[in-house]
Structures are given as structure tokens and as C-alpha cells.
């Protein structure tokens, strides 16, 4: 992992997802309380923390600013994290996928809820699903699968993924692919007698989003349906995902949207070209690792997952 030090004034975003508070039980792995959120922010030099508009301007001047970003339309970000930001007088980016405004909870969020409510740990969920999927395919054993993951060091650069997290994601993204994975995970949830009606209302609605904009926060797009590996899709499919998302969000907030984050940090050269086509000023990835693409750096801005922050917070950065 790329190391950060006080002398290295690289601009980047802090990436947050789930929070937990009195009205938000915080079911997802790594969800933060308001105290933990504040301590992550306190690990950053105050003069580096920048609100979205300032970050957009200063990014091009190499000021080394740090912005706060939230992905995935979660209500707990509004109820738990926003009061903390208000005390600090800081605004943030909210990267939203527009498919969340449809009637049903998107599958990836439903799976996250299922995993945490039906299993003692993420590890147990991972291995139960891996074993069930292997049984149905029967052309690969657990041992072979684990061997392949080690051989290619799949997601080995992300210290917060356990071995079973990496095998689960390899199976989902590389072996099965989106369509087959969705069929398998839906039938797996059915085996547990679990369906959509069990999930609580955890997503921001249109009024929440208008409230965020009125309060000075910035809305960016994050695709329409939040595919697991958007960067593997052809350019036309990517264009549809991003342009639809941008249009739906602009209709809600009634102003141009100029920022984006790639879902699951998955993007390629086509995604970068689309950012220009869609008049995006800055776009964020999901890691601080070096990129292989020859790109415009404003479309590959680093982000650090809060899960990785404690290793940096021994001294302020």
C-alpha cells in the first residue's frame, strides 16, 4: 500500500460507507459510530480538510487537500455522520447510484444485510456461499479456487480483505460473473427463507438528497445499477450506466453534476473517456494504489477507505 506522510501532500478523498447510531444498528462490517468518525477526521491536519468546491479548485494546484466522501446512498450517513460534519463546518461529497430510487433494495445492499443478519460473521457467510456455489458448479473445488486466488494474488493489495473475502469476490467477479452470481445468491438467500421484505429502509430518498444539497453538500454520480465490475463492461453499457445516473440525479437536485466515483473502484480507459464526455471535473477511485492507465489524473483521484485509516492516524497526516 502506498504510504502517506505529512511531507507527501497528495490530495485524496476519505471514503465512507456504513455508520451506526441509536436509530441505525450498523449491520455492515466496519460501520462507524459518530465518535469513531470524528476520530478518523481528527487524524487529518485541519488545514488539509476541504469541502467539495474548495477541493475541486485546489486539486489542480497540488495543495494536498483531503475531502470527505460517502458512497451508496445510506441513510446512516445523514443521521450519524452529518451532525459530526456540521460541528466541524465541513461539507462532503455524496456519491449516489440512481437505481436506489426504484422500489426494491438493490441486490448488493440486500446481500450485505442478509450476510450480517443471518450469519455470526462475514467469514461464515463467505464460506457458506462459496461452498454452496461450488456444489452447484462442481467443476472447481474450494482448494483449487483458493489456489487460483493466491496465484493471482486477487485483491491482495487491500489489507482489509480477509482470505475468504478475496475468494468470495474472485468467485463473484471472475468465475461466475454478474448474471450467474445474481442467480446463485438469490437462490442461496431463498434457501435461508430470506427475501426483500426482511430488509429495513436504509437508503436516502429524494427529499434527503434535496436536504443535503440545501445544506451545502455535493452530489456526485456513482452509476445507475451499481454493477460489481463496471470497468469490465463495454463502453456503451458504461455510458448508459453513467449518463442515466447523472440525468436522474440532476433532475432531483436541479443543477449540473460535476463529480463521480466508480462503483467498487472498477474502471478502465473507457470510463475515463466517458468522464470527459459527461462534463465531469473530478472522479474518484477506491484506493491509493498506483494506476496502470495513462489518464488525466483528475479522473483517478485516490481515496482511502476509513478501514485503512487507523494505520495512518498514529500521527496526523
What are the residues binding Zn ion (CB under 5 A)? 71-72, 263
Comparing every residue's Cβ against Zn ion, the nearest one is 71
CB nearer to Zn ion: pick between 173 and 317: 173
CB nearer to Zn ion: pick between 100 and 272: 100
- Residue (of 26, 38, 19) closest to 313 by Cα position: 38
Q: Half-sphere exposure of residue 282, counting CA atoms within 13 Å on the CB side?
A: 22
Query: Closest approach of Cβ 129 to Zn ion, in Å?
Result: 20
The b-or-e profile of 58-76 (16+ CB within 10 A means b, else e) is: bbeeebbbbbbbbbbbbbb
Measured between alpha carbons, how far is 175 from 83 in angstroms, rounded to an integer?
A: 42
DSSP code per residue over 241-289: HHHHHHHHHHHHHTS---EEE-GGG---HHHHHHHHHTT-SEEE-S--S
> Is the CA virtual torsion 178, 179, 184, 190 positive or negative?
positive
Measured between alpha carbons, how far is 151 from 309 in angstroms, rounded to an integer?
A: 28
CB nearer to Zn ion: pick between 145 and 241: 241
- Residue (of 135, 189, 142, 181) closest to 164 by Cα position: 142
CB nearer to Zn ion: pick between 64 and 302: 302
Q: Is residue 150 within 8 Å of residue 164, measured between CB atoms?
A: no
Query: Closest approach of Cβ 102 to Zn ion, in Å?
Result: 16
CB nearer to Zn ion: pick between 24 and 72: 72
CB nearer to Zn ion: pick between 181 and 317: 181
CB nearer to Zn ion: pick between 51 and 228: 228
The vertex-116 CA angle with 110 and 118, nearest 5°, equals 90
Helical packing angle, 122-137 and 177-191, nearest 10°? 110
Query: Closest approach of Cβ 264 to Zn ion, in Å?
Result: 6
Backbone angles phi, psi at 303, to 5 degrees: -135, 150
CB nearer to Zn ion: pick between 43 and 263: 263
Query: Closest approach of Cβ 42 to Zn ion, in Å?
Result: 25
Contacting residues for 312 by C-beta, under 8 A, at least 6 apart: 4, 43, 304
Query: Closest approach of Cβ 226 to Zn ion, in Å?
Result: 6
Residue count of the chain: 317
CB nearer to Zn ion: pick between 145 and 261: 261
Amino acid at each position: 500500500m502506498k504510504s502517506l506522510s505529512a511531507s507527501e501532500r497528495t490530495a485524496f478523498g476519505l471514503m465512507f460507507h456504513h455508520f451506526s447510531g441509536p436509530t441505525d444498528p450498523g449491520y455492515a462490517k466496519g460501520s462507524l459510530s459518530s465518535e469513531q468518525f470524528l476520530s478518523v477526521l481528527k487524524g487529518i491536519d485541519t488545514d488539509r480538510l476541504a469541502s467539495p468546491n474548495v477541493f475541486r479548485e485546489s486539486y489542480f494546484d497540488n495543495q494536498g487537500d483531503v475531502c470527505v466522501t460517502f458512497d451508496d446512498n445510506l441513510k446512516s450517513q445523514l443521521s450519524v455522520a452529518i451532525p459530526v460534519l456540521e460541528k466541524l463546518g465541513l461539507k462532503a461529497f455524496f456519491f449516489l447510484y440512481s437505481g436506489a430510487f426504484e422500489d426494491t433494495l438493490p441486490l448488493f445492499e440486500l446481500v450485505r444485510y442478509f450476510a450480517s443478519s443471518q450469519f455470526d460473521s462475514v467469514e461464515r457467510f463467505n464460506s457458506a456461499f462459496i461452498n454452496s456455489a461450488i456444489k452447484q458448479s462442481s467443476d472447481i473445488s474450494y482448494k483449487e479456487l483458493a489456489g487460483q486466488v493466491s496465484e493471482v494474488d486477487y485483491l491482495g493489495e487491500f489489507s482489509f480483505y480477509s482470505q475468504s473475502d478475496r475468494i468470495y469476490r474472485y468467485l463473484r467477479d471472475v468465475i461466475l460473473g454478474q448474471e450467474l452470481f445474481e442467480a446463485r445468491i438469490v437462490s442461496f438467500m431463498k434457501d435461508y427463507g430470506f427475501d426483500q421484505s426482511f430488509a429495513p429502509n436504509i437508503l436516502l430518498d429524494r427529499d434527503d438528497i434535496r436536504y443535503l444539497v440545501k445544506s451545502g453538500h455535493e452530489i456526485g454520480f456513482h452509476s445507475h445499477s451499481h454493477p460489481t465490475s463496471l470497468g469490465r463492461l463495454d463502453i456503451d453499457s458504461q455510458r448508459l450506466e453513467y449518463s442515466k445516473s447523472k440525468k436522474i440525479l440532476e433532475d432531483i437536485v436541479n443543477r449540473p453534476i460535476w463529480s463521480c466515483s466508480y462503483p467498487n473502484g472498477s474502471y478502465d480507459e473507457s470510463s475515463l473517456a466517458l468522464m470527459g464526455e459527461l462534463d465531469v471535473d473530478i472522479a474518484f477511485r477506491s484506493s491509493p494504489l498506483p494506476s496502470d492507465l495513462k489518464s488525466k489524473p483528475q479522473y483517478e483521484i485516490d481515496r482511502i477507505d476509513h478501514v485503512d485509516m487507523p494505520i495512518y492516524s498514529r500521527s496526523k497526516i
